[in-house]
Amino acid sequence: MTADAVHSSPLDREAVRNLVTEQLAEILEKSPADIGEDVPFTDLGADSLALIELVEALEERLNAYVAGFHIDDEDLEGLTSVRDAVDYVSAKLQAA
Amino acid sequence: MTLPIALDAMGGDLAPGEVVAGARRAVDELGLAVTLVGVPELIGDPLGLEVYPCSEVIAMDDDPAASVRKKKDSSLVRAAELVRDAKASAMVSAGNTGATMAAALLRMGRLPGVVRPCIATPIPNPGRSPMVMVDAGANAECTPEMLVQFALMASAFVAAHYRVDRPTIGLLSIGEESSKGTPLVKETHQLLAASGLNFSGNVEGRDLIPSPVDVVVTDGFTGNVALKTLEGALRFVFSTVLGVIDTNDETRAAGRVLMDHLVPVASRLTPESQGGALLLGLEGICVISHGSSNATAIMNALRVAAELVEDGVVAKMRVAIRPEAG
Protein backbone atom coordinates (compact mmCIF):
# COMPACT_ATOMS: atom_id res chain seq x y z
CA MET A 1 0.00 0.00 0.00
CA THR A 2 1.20 3.48 -0.78
CA ALA A 3 0.56 6.77 0.90
CA ASP A 4 -2.57 6.89 -1.24
CA ALA A 5 -4.07 3.99 0.67
CA VAL A 6 -7.17 5.03 2.56
CA HIS A 7 -8.07 1.72 4.17
CA SER A 8 -6.06 0.00 6.87
CA SER A 9 -6.19 -3.56 5.52
CA PRO A 10 -5.53 -4.50 1.89
CA LEU A 11 -7.76 -7.06 0.19
CA ASP A 12 -6.39 -10.53 -0.41
CA ARG A 13 -7.34 -12.52 -3.49
CA GLU A 14 -10.23 -14.28 -1.74
CA ALA A 15 -11.73 -10.97 -0.67
CA VAL A 16 -11.37 -9.60 -4.21
CA ARG A 17 -13.06 -12.71 -5.59
CA ASN A 18 -15.97 -12.28 -3.18
CA LEU A 19 -16.26 -8.63 -4.11
CA VAL A 20 -16.27 -9.26 -7.87
CA THR A 21 -18.72 -12.16 -7.51
CA GLU A 22 -21.09 -10.19 -5.30
CA GLN A 23 -21.09 -7.16 -7.58
CA LEU A 24 -21.66 -9.23 -10.69
CA ALA A 25 -24.42 -11.24 -9.01
CA GLU A 26 -26.16 -8.02 -8.06
CA ILE A 27 -25.93 -6.64 -11.59
CA LEU A 28 -27.19 -9.87 -13.17
CA GLU A 29 -29.84 -10.45 -10.47
CA LYS A 30 -28.35 -13.88 -9.77
CA SER A 31 -27.20 -15.67 -6.65
CA PRO A 32 -23.43 -15.36 -6.03
CA ALA A 33 -23.40 -19.16 -5.94
CA ASP A 34 -24.41 -19.15 -9.62
CA ILE A 35 -21.40 -17.08 -10.65
CA GLY A 36 -18.67 -19.54 -11.62
CA GLU A 37 -15.13 -18.21 -11.51
CA ASP A 38 -14.20 -19.63 -14.90
CA VAL A 39 -17.51 -19.21 -16.71
CA PRO A 40 -17.18 -16.62 -19.51
CA PHE A 41 -19.05 -13.40 -18.75
CA THR A 42 -21.07 -13.84 -21.94
CA ASP A 43 -22.30 -17.27 -20.76
CA LEU A 44 -23.43 -15.67 -17.51
CA GLY A 45 -25.57 -13.24 -19.52
CA ALA A 46 -23.33 -10.23 -18.98
CA ASP A 47 -23.32 -7.95 -22.03
CA SER A 48 -20.93 -5.03 -22.56
CA LEU A 49 -23.13 -2.69 -20.58
CA ALA A 50 -23.27 -5.08 -17.63
CA LEU A 51 -19.48 -5.27 -17.66
CA ILE A 52 -19.20 -1.50 -17.60
CA GLU A 53 -21.60 -1.55 -14.64
CA LEU A 54 -19.29 -4.07 -12.96
CA VAL A 55 -16.20 -1.98 -13.67
CA GLU A 56 -17.79 1.20 -12.29
CA ALA A 57 -19.05 -0.64 -9.20
CA LEU A 58 -15.60 -2.14 -8.55
CA GLU A 59 -13.91 1.21 -8.95
CA GLU A 60 -16.29 2.77 -6.47
CA ARG A 61 -15.84 0.00 -3.90
CA LEU A 62 -12.07 -0.25 -4.30
CA ASN A 63 -11.61 3.47 -3.88
CA ALA A 64 -12.04 2.76 -0.19
CA TYR A 65 -8.77 0.81 -0.32
CA VAL A 66 -6.79 2.67 -2.95
CA ALA A 67 -7.72 6.25 -3.65
CA GLY A 68 -8.34 6.83 -7.34
CA PHE A 69 -8.49 3.11 -8.14
CA HIS A 70 -9.14 2.88 -11.87
CA ILE A 71 -9.60 0.08 -14.36
CA ASP A 72 -8.20 1.06 -17.74
CA ASP A 73 -10.65 0.79 -20.61
CA GLU A 74 -7.90 -0.69 -22.78
CA ASP A 75 -7.64 -3.62 -20.38
CA LEU A 76 -11.34 -4.52 -20.48
CA GLU A 77 -11.06 -6.72 -23.57
CA GLY A 78 -8.79 -9.09 -21.69
CA LEU A 79 -11.26 -9.59 -18.87
CA THR A 80 -13.59 -12.38 -19.92
CA SER A 81 -14.39 -14.13 -16.65
CA VAL A 82 -14.47 -13.59 -12.90
CA ARG A 83 -11.03 -15.18 -12.64
CA ASP A 84 -9.61 -12.69 -15.15
CA ALA A 85 -11.17 -9.80 -13.26
CA VAL A 86 -9.95 -11.04 -9.88
CA ASP A 87 -6.40 -11.58 -11.14
CA TYR A 88 -6.38 -8.14 -12.75
CA VAL A 89 -7.77 -6.31 -9.72
CA SER A 90 -5.50 -8.19 -7.29
CA ALA A 91 -2.43 -7.28 -9.33
CA LYS A 92 -3.47 -3.64 -9.48
CA LEU A 93 -4.08 -3.52 -5.74
CA GLN A 94 -0.69 -5.07 -5.05
CA ALA A 95 1.04 -2.62 -7.33
CA ALA A 96 -0.64 0.36 -5.69
CA MET B 1 -40.59 23.67 -6.18
CA THR B 2 -40.87 22.02 -9.59
CA LEU B 3 -37.59 20.57 -10.74
CA PRO B 4 -36.62 21.29 -14.35
CA ILE B 5 -36.26 18.62 -16.99
CA ALA B 6 -32.65 18.15 -18.07
CA LEU B 7 -32.48 18.35 -21.85
CA ASP B 8 -29.41 17.12 -23.71
CA ALA B 9 -28.92 20.14 -25.95
CA MET B 10 -26.19 18.42 -27.98
CA GLY B 11 -28.10 15.24 -28.89
CA GLY B 12 -29.72 14.64 -32.27
CA ASP B 13 -29.17 15.26 -35.95
CA LEU B 14 -30.62 18.78 -35.68
CA ALA B 15 -28.95 19.75 -32.39
CA PRO B 16 -28.47 22.18 -30.91
CA GLY B 17 -30.66 24.54 -32.98
CA GLU B 18 -33.91 22.56 -33.11
CA VAL B 19 -33.39 21.17 -29.61
CA VAL B 20 -33.05 24.62 -28.08
CA ALA B 21 -36.03 25.86 -30.12
CA GLY B 22 -38.11 22.92 -28.88
CA ALA B 23 -37.14 23.66 -25.31
CA ARG B 24 -38.15 27.29 -25.70
CA ARG B 25 -41.53 26.20 -27.07
CA ALA B 26 -42.03 23.77 -24.17
CA VAL B 27 -41.43 26.61 -21.74
CA ASP B 28 -43.67 29.08 -23.59
CA GLU B 29 -46.47 26.80 -24.75
CA LEU B 30 -46.57 24.14 -22.03
CA GLY B 31 -45.23 26.05 -19.04
CA LEU B 32 -42.49 23.48 -18.37
CA ALA B 33 -39.20 24.16 -16.58
CA VAL B 34 -36.25 23.07 -18.73
CA THR B 35 -32.48 23.13 -18.19
CA LEU B 36 -30.33 22.83 -21.29
CA VAL B 37 -27.28 20.64 -20.75
CA GLY B 38 -24.54 21.30 -23.25
CA VAL B 39 -21.41 23.05 -24.39
CA PRO B 40 -22.17 26.80 -24.19
CA GLU B 41 -19.96 27.76 -27.14
CA LEU B 42 -21.73 25.19 -29.34
CA ILE B 43 -25.24 26.02 -28.13
CA GLY B 44 -24.88 29.66 -29.07
CA ASP B 45 -28.00 31.62 -28.15
CA PRO B 46 -29.88 29.61 -25.48
CA LEU B 47 -33.02 31.68 -26.13
CA GLY B 48 -33.11 32.80 -22.52
CA LEU B 49 -33.03 29.28 -21.06
CA GLU B 50 -30.79 28.12 -18.22
CA VAL B 51 -27.69 26.23 -19.39
CA TYR B 52 -25.88 23.63 -17.30
CA PRO B 53 -22.44 23.75 -18.90
CA CYS B 54 -20.31 20.78 -19.89
CA SER B 55 -17.33 20.37 -22.19
CA GLU B 56 -17.91 17.17 -24.16
CA VAL B 57 -20.37 15.69 -26.64
CA ILE B 58 -21.09 12.01 -27.29
CA ALA B 59 -21.47 11.60 -31.05
CA MET B 60 -24.20 9.55 -32.66
CA ASP B 61 -21.66 6.91 -33.75
CA ASP B 62 -19.63 6.74 -30.51
CA ASP B 63 -19.49 3.38 -28.74
CA PRO B 64 -22.29 3.60 -26.16
CA ALA B 65 -20.74 2.15 -23.01
CA ALA B 66 -17.17 3.24 -23.69
CA SER B 67 -18.17 6.82 -24.51
CA VAL B 68 -20.03 7.19 -21.23
CA ARG B 69 -16.89 6.11 -19.36
CA LYS B 70 -14.55 8.26 -21.40
CA LYS B 71 -16.66 11.40 -21.76
CA LYS B 72 -17.64 12.01 -18.16
CA ASP B 73 -18.23 15.71 -18.82
CA SER B 74 -20.56 15.10 -21.76
CA SER B 75 -24.07 16.51 -21.99
CA LEU B 76 -25.62 13.04 -21.81
CA VAL B 77 -23.73 11.98 -18.70
CA ARG B 78 -24.30 15.33 -16.97
CA ALA B 79 -28.04 15.23 -17.76
CA ALA B 80 -28.30 11.77 -16.17
CA GLU B 81 -26.35 13.01 -13.13
CA LEU B 82 -28.75 15.91 -12.68
CA VAL B 83 -31.60 13.39 -12.35
CA ARG B 84 -29.54 11.17 -10.05
CA ASP B 85 -28.70 14.13 -7.82
CA ALA B 86 -32.35 15.26 -7.70
CA LYS B 87 -31.55 18.49 -9.52
CA ALA B 88 -33.78 17.54 -12.44
CA SER B 89 -37.02 15.58 -12.51
CA ALA B 90 -36.27 13.73 -15.76
CA MET B 91 -33.91 13.73 -18.72
CA VAL B 92 -34.59 13.91 -22.44
CA SER B 93 -32.16 13.24 -25.28
CA ALA B 94 -32.39 12.82 -29.05
CA GLY B 95 -28.78 11.69 -29.16
CA ASN B 96 -27.02 8.33 -29.39
CA THR B 97 -29.65 5.86 -28.12
CA GLY B 98 -27.20 3.30 -26.77
CA ALA B 99 -25.16 5.95 -24.97
CA THR B 100 -28.33 7.49 -23.54
CA MET B 101 -29.26 4.13 -22.13
CA ALA B 102 -25.76 3.56 -20.79
CA ALA B 103 -25.60 7.01 -19.18
CA ALA B 104 -29.02 6.65 -17.60
CA LEU B 105 -28.30 3.12 -16.39
CA LEU B 106 -24.85 3.89 -14.99
CA ARG B 107 -25.78 7.19 -13.34
CA MET B 108 -29.40 6.65 -12.23
CA GLY B 109 -29.15 2.91 -11.59
CA ARG B 110 -31.70 0.14 -12.01
CA LEU B 111 -34.78 -0.35 -9.91
CA PRO B 112 -34.32 -3.24 -7.46
CA GLY B 113 -35.09 -6.53 -9.16
CA VAL B 114 -34.67 -5.26 -12.72
CA VAL B 115 -32.33 -7.46 -14.74
CA ARG B 116 -32.05 -5.17 -17.78
CA PRO B 117 -33.79 -1.90 -18.62
CA CYS B 118 -35.71 -1.88 -21.89
CA ILE B 119 -36.98 0.67 -24.38
CA ALA B 120 -40.73 1.19 -24.50
CA THR B 121 -41.99 2.84 -27.68
CA PRO B 122 -45.59 4.03 -27.94
CA ILE B 123 -47.13 3.35 -31.35
CA PRO B 124 -50.29 5.23 -32.35
CA ASN B 125 -53.39 3.08 -32.10
CA PRO B 126 -56.38 4.78 -33.71
CA GLY B 127 -59.39 4.93 -31.43
CA ARG B 128 -57.56 3.87 -28.27
CA SER B 129 -54.45 4.63 -26.26
CA PRO B 130 -51.11 3.95 -28.00
CA MET B 131 -49.81 0.42 -28.06
CA VAL B 132 -46.45 0.17 -26.28
CA MET B 133 -43.78 -2.05 -27.77
CA VAL B 134 -41.00 -3.44 -25.56
CA ASP B 135 -38.11 -3.93 -26.15
CA ALA B 136 -37.63 -1.52 -29.04
CA GLY B 137 -33.87 -1.91 -29.18
CA ALA B 138 -32.01 -1.95 -25.88
CA ASN B 139 -31.30 -5.69 -25.59
CA ALA B 140 -30.56 -7.58 -28.78
CA GLU B 141 -30.33 -10.88 -26.96
CA CYS B 142 -32.88 -11.75 -24.33
CA THR B 143 -33.96 -14.64 -22.14
CA PRO B 144 -37.61 -15.60 -21.63
CA GLU B 145 -37.40 -14.25 -18.07
CA MET B 146 -36.24 -10.89 -19.39
CA LEU B 147 -39.18 -10.68 -21.80
CA VAL B 148 -41.62 -11.44 -18.98
CA GLN B 149 -40.08 -8.65 -16.92
CA PHE B 150 -40.30 -6.27 -19.90
CA ALA B 151 -44.01 -7.14 -20.16
CA LEU B 152 -44.46 -6.50 -16.45
CA MET B 153 -42.76 -3.11 -16.63
CA ALA B 154 -44.62 -2.07 -19.78
CA SER B 155 -47.89 -3.12 -18.20
CA ALA B 156 -47.17 -0.94 -15.15
CA PHE B 157 -46.18 1.94 -17.44
CA VAL B 158 -49.36 1.72 -19.56
CA ALA B 159 -51.56 1.49 -16.46
CA ALA B 160 -49.88 4.53 -14.88
CA HIS B 161 -49.52 6.71 -17.98
CA TYR B 162 -52.53 5.83 -20.14
CA ARG B 163 -54.83 4.85 -17.25
CA VAL B 164 -55.53 1.42 -18.74
CA ASP B 165 -56.76 -1.12 -16.21
CA ARG B 166 -54.91 -4.44 -16.55
CA PRO B 167 -53.32 -3.75 -19.96
CA THR B 168 -53.53 -6.61 -22.45
CA ILE B 169 -50.21 -8.08 -23.55
CA GLY B 170 -49.30 -9.73 -26.84
CA LEU B 171 -46.14 -11.64 -27.67
CA LEU B 172 -44.74 -10.90 -31.13
CA SER B 173 -44.43 -14.09 -33.16
CA ILE B 174 -45.05 -15.52 -36.62
CA GLY B 175 -48.44 -17.00 -35.79
CA GLU B 176 -51.13 -16.88 -33.15
CA GLU B 177 -50.63 -20.49 -32.07
CA SER B 178 -48.44 -21.03 -29.00
CA SER B 179 -46.52 -23.70 -30.90
CA LYS B 180 -45.18 -21.15 -33.38
CA GLY B 181 -42.00 -19.14 -33.11
CA THR B 182 -38.42 -19.48 -31.94
CA PRO B 183 -37.55 -21.37 -28.73
CA LEU B 184 -37.35 -17.95 -27.03
CA VAL B 185 -40.89 -17.08 -28.13
CA LYS B 186 -42.35 -20.47 -27.22
CA GLU B 187 -40.81 -20.48 -23.75
CA THR B 188 -41.80 -16.87 -23.15
CA HIS B 189 -45.37 -17.72 -24.18
CA GLN B 190 -45.56 -20.35 -21.45
CA LEU B 191 -44.10 -18.04 -18.83
CA LEU B 192 -46.42 -15.16 -19.76
CA ALA B 193 -49.46 -17.46 -19.66
CA ALA B 194 -48.55 -18.38 -16.08
CA SER B 195 -47.43 -14.90 -15.02
CA GLY B 196 -50.70 -13.42 -13.81
CA LEU B 197 -50.35 -10.62 -16.35
CA ASN B 198 -53.25 -10.02 -18.76
CA PHE B 199 -51.65 -12.08 -21.53
CA SER B 200 -53.69 -12.31 -24.74
CA GLY B 201 -51.39 -14.68 -26.60
CA ASN B 202 -49.26 -14.22 -29.69
CA VAL B 203 -49.66 -11.33 -32.12
CA GLU B 204 -48.14 -10.97 -35.57
CA GLY B 205 -46.37 -8.14 -37.35
CA ARG B 206 -49.64 -7.03 -38.94
CA ASP B 207 -51.07 -6.50 -35.45
CA LEU B 208 -48.71 -3.66 -34.59
CA ILE B 209 -50.83 -0.91 -36.13
CA PRO B 210 -53.66 -0.94 -35.37
CA SER B 211 -53.03 -3.25 -32.46
CA PRO B 212 -55.56 -5.38 -30.58
CA VAL B 213 -53.41 -5.24 -27.43
CA ASP B 214 -51.98 -2.53 -25.17
CA VAL B 215 -48.45 -3.97 -24.97
CA VAL B 216 -46.44 -5.99 -27.49
CA VAL B 217 -43.37 -7.70 -26.07
CA THR B 218 -40.39 -8.92 -28.05
CA ASP B 219 -36.58 -8.94 -27.90
CA GLY B 220 -34.74 -5.71 -28.70
CA PHE B 221 -33.42 -6.89 -32.06
CA THR B 222 -36.83 -7.92 -33.41
CA GLY B 223 -38.50 -4.90 -31.81
CA ASN B 224 -36.14 -2.46 -33.44
CA VAL B 225 -36.49 -4.11 -36.85
CA ALA B 226 -40.29 -4.09 -36.51
CA LEU B 227 -40.32 -0.46 -35.45
CA LYS B 228 -38.11 0.72 -38.29
CA THR B 229 -40.09 -1.37 -40.79
CA LEU B 230 -43.28 0.28 -39.61
CA GLU B 231 -41.70 3.71 -39.83
CA GLY B 232 -40.41 3.09 -43.35
CA ALA B 233 -43.74 1.67 -44.53
CA LEU B 234 -45.67 4.64 -43.16
CA ARG B 235 -43.28 7.06 -44.85
CA PHE B 236 -43.69 5.20 -48.12
CA VAL B 237 -47.49 5.34 -47.87
CA PHE B 238 -47.43 9.08 -47.12
CA SER B 239 -45.11 9.86 -50.02
CA THR B 240 -47.12 7.63 -52.38
CA VAL B 241 -50.39 9.36 -51.49
CA LEU B 242 -48.76 12.77 -51.94
CA GLY B 243 -47.36 11.63 -55.29
CA VAL B 244 -50.79 10.48 -56.48
CA ILE B 245 -52.36 13.77 -55.40
CA ASP B 246 -49.77 15.66 -57.42
CA THR B 247 -50.47 13.68 -60.63
CA ASN B 248 -52.58 16.22 -62.58
CA ASP B 249 -54.90 19.19 -62.12
CA GLU B 250 -57.86 16.97 -61.28
CA THR B 251 -56.04 15.04 -58.53
CA ARG B 252 -54.53 18.26 -57.20
CA ALA B 253 -58.03 19.72 -56.90
CA ALA B 254 -59.15 16.59 -55.06
CA GLY B 255 -56.04 16.90 -52.88
CA ARG B 256 -57.02 20.40 -51.83
CA VAL B 257 -60.28 18.96 -50.50
CA LEU B 258 -58.66 15.93 -48.87
CA MET B 259 -55.62 17.63 -47.33
CA ASP B 260 -57.51 19.09 -44.39
CA HIS B 261 -58.49 15.53 -43.48
CA LEU B 262 -55.26 13.77 -44.35
CA VAL B 263 -52.81 16.07 -42.59
CA PRO B 264 -54.19 15.53 -39.05
CA VAL B 265 -54.14 11.76 -39.57
CA ALA B 266 -50.59 11.83 -40.89
CA SER B 267 -49.38 14.08 -38.09
CA ARG B 268 -50.75 11.69 -35.48
CA LEU B 269 -48.75 8.87 -37.04
CA THR B 270 -45.38 10.62 -37.27
CA PRO B 271 -42.66 9.97 -34.67
CA GLU B 272 -42.56 13.72 -33.97
CA SER B 273 -46.04 13.60 -32.43
CA GLN B 274 -45.25 10.72 -30.06
CA GLY B 275 -42.57 12.43 -28.01
CA GLY B 276 -40.17 9.51 -28.02
CA ALA B 277 -39.52 6.29 -26.19
CA LEU B 278 -39.08 5.67 -22.49
CA LEU B 279 -36.40 3.67 -20.74
CA LEU B 280 -38.16 1.32 -18.33
CA GLY B 281 -36.55 -0.11 -15.20
CA LEU B 282 -34.45 2.82 -14.02
CA GLU B 283 -34.39 4.90 -10.85
CA GLY B 284 -35.42 7.92 -12.86
CA ILE B 285 -37.18 9.02 -16.02
CA CYS B 286 -35.33 9.09 -19.31
CA VAL B 287 -37.10 9.88 -22.57
CA ILE B 288 -35.27 9.05 -25.78
CA SER B 289 -36.44 11.19 -28.65
CA HIS B 290 -36.02 10.33 -32.32
CA GLY B 291 -32.54 11.11 -33.70
CA SER B 292 -34.03 13.39 -36.34
CA SER B 293 -36.16 15.28 -33.82
CA ASN B 294 -37.22 18.80 -34.78
CA ALA B 295 -38.43 21.46 -32.36
CA THR B 296 -41.93 19.98 -32.26
CA ALA B 297 -40.62 16.52 -31.44
CA ILE B 298 -38.42 17.90 -28.66
CA MET B 299 -41.34 19.84 -27.20
CA ASN B 300 -43.46 16.68 -27.24
CA ALA B 301 -40.67 14.65 -25.64
CA LEU B 302 -40.45 17.23 -22.84
CA ARG B 303 -44.23 17.10 -22.46
CA VAL B 304 -44.13 13.30 -22.14
CA ALA B 305 -41.30 13.49 -19.60
CA ALA B 306 -43.29 15.95 -17.51
CA GLU B 307 -46.37 13.71 -17.69
CA LEU B 308 -44.35 10.69 -16.58
CA VAL B 309 -43.05 12.62 -13.58
CA GLU B 310 -46.60 13.69 -12.77
CA ASP B 311 -47.85 10.10 -13.12
CA GLY B 312 -45.26 8.82 -10.65
CA VAL B 313 -44.25 6.15 -13.13
CA VAL B 314 -40.98 5.23 -11.40
CA ALA B 315 -42.62 4.66 -8.02
CA LYS B 316 -45.40 2.59 -9.59
CA MET B 317 -42.93 0.48 -11.51
CA ARG B 318 -40.93 -0.13 -8.35
CA VAL B 319 -44.03 -1.60 -6.73
CA ALA B 320 -44.93 -3.62 -9.83
CA ILE B 321 -41.50 -5.27 -9.84
CA ARG B 322 -41.28 -5.81 -6.10
CA PRO B 323 -44.85 -5.67 -4.70
CA GLU B 324 -43.49 -5.95 -1.16
CA ALA B 325 -41.74 -2.56 -1.69
CA GLY B 326 -45.15 -0.85 -1.83
Domains and CATH numbers, chain B: 5-110+281-313 (3.40.718.10), 115-280 (3.40.718.10)
Q: Give Cα separations from B142 to A44, B98, B172, B220, B224 (angstroms).
A: 12, 16, 14, 8, 13
Interchain proximity A28–B115, CB inside 8 Å? yes
Residue of B23, B19, B10 whose CA lies nearest to B303: B23
- pLDDT score at A68: 86
- Does ipTM exceed 0.95? no
Q: What is the set of active-site residues of A?
A: 47
CB B91 within 8 A of CB B125: no
A43–B contact, CB cutoff 8 A: no
Q: Which of B114-118, B249-253, B262-266 has the lowest mean pLDDT?
A: B262-266
A53-64 residue pLDDT tens:
999 999 999 988
B38-51 residue pLDDT tens:
999 999 999 999 99
Q: Which residues of A touch B66 (CB under 8 A)?
A: 52, 73
B146-163 residue pLDDT tens:
999 999 999 999 999 999
- pLDDT score at A57: 92
Q: What is the mean pLDDT of residues A29-54?
A: 91
In this complex, the residue of A29, A45, A49 whose CB is nearest that of residue B65 is: A49
Query: Any residues with CB less than 8 A from the CB of A51 and at least 6 apart, and which?
Result: A41, A76, A79, B65
Please state the separation of Cα B186 from the chain's center in Å: 27
Three-state DSSP at A25 gives helix
Question: Å from A51 to nearest chain B CA?
Answer: 9
pLDDT at A9 over 70: no
CB B19 within 8 A of CB B94: yes
Q: Which residues of B touch A54 (CB under 8 A)?
A: none
Structural domains in chain A? 13-95 (1.10.1200.10)
- pLDDT score at B123: 93
Q: Name the DSSP letter for residue B124.
A: -
Interchain proximity B115–A47, CB inside 8 Å? no
For the entire predicted model, the pTM comes to 0.87
Question: Å from A47 to nearest chain B CA?
Answer: 9
A75–B contact, CB cutoff 8 A: no
- pLDDT score at B269: 78
Q: Which residue of A has its CA nearest to B99?
A: A49
Local confidence band at B324 (pLDDT 50, 70, 90 cut-offs): confident
pLDDT at A4 over 50: no
